[in-house]
Amino acid sequence: MRKKMVAGNWKMNMTPSQAVQLAGELKNTAVNDEVDVVFCVPAIDIIPVVNEVKGTAVKVGAENMYYEEKGAYTGEIAPDMLVDAGVEYVIIGHSERREYFKESDEMINKKVKKALEHQLVPILCCGESLAQREEGITLTFIKGQIEAAFADISAEDAVKVVIAYEPIWAIGTGKVATSEQAQEVCKAIRENIRSIYGDATADVIRILYGGSVNAKNAAELFAQEDIDGGLVGGASLKPEFANIVNYK
């Protein structure tokens, strides 16, 4: 059985003091022995949040990471910096990074490899735009994203990656893919992994759904056979995040 995961993506929200307050509230309510809970927070919030959730089951993730060890990369964060700060997860390839910061498939592949080198768990994002869905190329497009992201990654490492399917048209819009739509794509992603690595990897790799996940739709989404939890945006900044973690 794949253990469920609910990861909050705080995006560019919460000052350090606000982050500590929110983490302090959620660490006692977003608790479920059957769910791995992760707060993915802005870089400046990492250390205070790590300190705030210490001794609890909550894990801390970063929202981004560079693929070089160190050097003249002003403003970037190296993987060993994250590890030393207490980070265990890192979001890679979010659609906002792809769109606004022009991250390519090649760059995302480098980031996944570098995260794995440092024993960080990549939360690898993929997803289609509304135009691509209307054009009927969703599954083909996402297959390409998955193949590019996992290029030259061994089965032993691939199984450590968490995949997050986030249809771009559902992020922050209030529009949610129906449970059937989300399941269709997550199942296709699992089959993509199966075709690359075989059954053993495909059957254990976790695939999350993200895109306007909230306390009302979480249970139905997470009940789907190939959906192993959620990557939660706006709702992760509210008390209702605890209700998503305790979806049943």
CA distance 205 to 174: 28
Active-site position among 52, 63, 166, 240: 166
User: Nearest 5°: phi and psi at 31?
Assistant: -130, 125
Catalytic: 118? no
How many Cβ atoms sit within 10 Å of the Cβ of residue 55?
7
**C-beta pairs of 99-107 under 8 Å, 24+ apart in sequence:** 99/168, 105/144, 105/145, 105/148, 105/149, 106/148, 107/67
Angle at 94 between CA 97 and CA 212, to 5 degrees: 120
Query: For the chain, what's the residue count?
Result: 248
Residue with tokens 């809970």: 37
User: What residue ranges in the chain does DSSP mark as E strands?
Assistant: 4-9, 35-41, 59-62, 89-92, 121-126, 162-165, 206-210, 229-232
Do 65 and 32 meet the contact criterion of CB atoms below 8 Å apart? no
DSSP 8-state secondary structure symbol assigned to residue 4: E
Residue type, position 187, single letter: K
Q: Tell me the torsion sign for CA atoms 139, 214, 235, 121.
A: negative
Choose the catalytic residue: 94, 103, 128, 240. 94
Catalytic positions, written as ranges:
94, 166
